[in-house]
Amino acid sequence: MYHLKNYMEILVDEILPGMLVKENTICKCERCIMDIKAIALNRLPAKYIVSDIGEIYRRYDELGKQLEIDVMEAIMRAIELVKLYPKHDA
């Protein structure tokens, strides 16, 4: 079974929860978390891969640290934006 995946989305899903834990001032409702994801992914180049699940985890090791730093930076900026302009219903 093969999947077409945006590898960046996998990375954001992997990294975002750990960053949210450290953020005390950001709203963590579903809407805000999805907004953070969307903003971060719009800032990152899409990186589509065809793979099975095992392959995805091997890629993670291959692509390594720099990509992870880029993703963390994009998430950080997205968190700041959502903090300033939350779109959830009051």
Task: Tell me which residues touch Zn ion (CB under 5 A).
Answer: 27, 29, 32, 88
Closest CB to Zn ion among residues 77, 83: 83
CB of 14 to Zn ion, least distance (A): 22
Closest CB to Zn ion among residues 10, 36: 36
Cα→Cα distances 30→37, 50, 55, 73, 76, Å: 11, 28, 29, 21, 17
62 token code pair: 């291959």
CB of 40 to Zn ion, least distance (A): 16
Closest CB to Zn ion among residues 3, 88: 88
In angstroms, rounded to a whole number, what is the distance separating the alpha carbons of residues 60 and 15? Answer: 12
Give the torsion sign (CA, 62, 67, 68, 71). negative
CB of 29 to Zn ion, least distance (A): 3
